[in-house]
Structure 1
Amino acid sequence: MSTLIDTLAQQEEELVFDSFDLEQAWLLGTRITQAARAAGHAVGIDIRRPGFTLFRAALPGITADQDVWLARKAAVALRMEKSGARVEAEWREMGIDPFTGGWLGEDYAVTGGSFPIRVRGVGVVAAVSVSGLASSEDHDLIVAGIRAHLEEAAR
C-alpha cells in the first residue's frame, strides 16, 4: 500500500464521531463553510444521507457544475464507505478503471472531495462533500473541518 493510501485510511480511522444528527451536520457544515469563506474559496458544501440532504451551502462563485459534482462525489463515499480520495488512490494503484465494465455510471465521481461520516459502533451514516477546488484541496478542507469539529466536541 502506498503512503498516500495509508494516510487516507488513517484519517478515516481517526475521524470518527460518537454520534451524528442534524445538529452535528449543521455545526460541521457551518465550520467548513466559514473556513472556505475565510479563504475566499468558491465552493459548495454538502452533507447528506442517502435520499436526504442534511446541510448545503453555496459560496459566491460556485457554478451549477459543482452541484452535480457534490452529488457524484457523495455517491462514491456512501457506496464504498471510504473517502473519494482513498477510493481513487486504491483503484489507481490496482489499475482499476471504475467506468469499465459498466458497474459505476455517471452518477459517481471517483475523486477527492467527499468523506464518510462514520459513527463509532454504527458505521457510515452520511457523507460530507466539497466541490470547487482541486480534488485534493476539497478533501483537505473536509478533513480539517472534521478534525476541528471533533477536537472541539472532545473538550
Structure 2
Amino acid sequence: MTMKEKMTNLLNQEVVLQFDTFSNKMALEIGLLLVEEAEKENKPVTIDITRHNHQLFHVAMEGTSADNDTWVRRKSNVVNRFSHSSMYMSLKLEVKGGTMEEAYFLNSADFAAHGGSFPIRIKDTGVIGTITVSGLPSEQDHQMVVHVLSQYLKVGFDPITKVDI
C-alpha cells in the first residue's frame, strides 16, 4: 500500500467515525470499552478522553507510568492543533520530511505526531476533543482507538481492517 493510500484510509476513518453528539456518558462508555479491550490482552495503556480541554475519562492500566500521561498530552495537542489523528499527522510528517519543530515550528515537548490520538468529530460541526491511547507501539495505539470506535458507532465495517500502517 502506498503512503497516499495509507493517508487516504486514515482520513476515511475520520469521516466514518464521527458522532452526532458527544456526552459525558458516551465518554464513559467508550472509555470502558477501551479498558475492556486493553484487559483482554493485558495491554499496559493509558486511556484519555477529553472534550474542549475538559478531561471526561482517564485511566492508567497496570504497567503504565506518568510518561504515558505526557504522551497522551503531546498526542492530543497534535489532534487539537491540526484536527486530524496523530497517526495521520505522523505519516504527513514522514512524507513532508522533518519533525514537528522543523515543519510547523512546534516544540516536541508539547507535540508528538505518533499514533494513538483520534479526533472526536461532531458531524457538521468539527473536532471537539480527543480519544487517546498511549503505551503500545504507535500503530497499535491508533488501531485500538479505531477498533473500539467502530464497535461503539456500529459502523458496518471495521476501518481497522482497511488500514495498513
TM-score bracket relative to the smaller structure: over 0.9
Q: How does 1:58-73 map to 2 (within 5 A)?
A: 58-73=60-75
- Residue 159 of structure 2 is matched in structure 1 by none
- 1: CA distance between counterparts of 2:136 and 2:148? 15
- Residue 41 of structure 2 is matched in structure 1 by 39
The TM-score normalised by the length of structure 2 is: 0.87
The TM-score normalised by the length of structure 1 is: 0.93
- Residue 141 of structure 2 is matched in structure 1 by 138
Over aligned residue pairs, what C-alpha RMSD do you find? 1.5
* Unaligned runs of at least 5 residues, structure 2: 156-165
- Residue 7 of structure 1 is matched in structure 2 by 9
Q: Which amino acid aligns with 2:77?
A: A
Give 1:97 shift. Answer: 2.5
Amino-acid identity (%): 34
- 2: CA distance between counterparts of 1:71 and 1:49? 13
Give yes or no for contact 2:87–2:139 (8 Å, CA) kept in 1: yes
Give 1:100 shift. Answer: 2.0
Give 1:39 shift. Answer: 1.4
| Distance change (3 Å), C-alpha of 1:93 and 1:149 | same
Matched position secondary structure for 1:118: strand
Give 1:63 shift. Answer: 1.4
Matched position secondary structure for 2:101: coil
Q: How does 1:90-109 map to 2 (within 5 A)?
A: 90-100=92-102, 103-105=105-107, 106-109=109-112
* Unaligned runs of at least 5 residues, structure 1: none
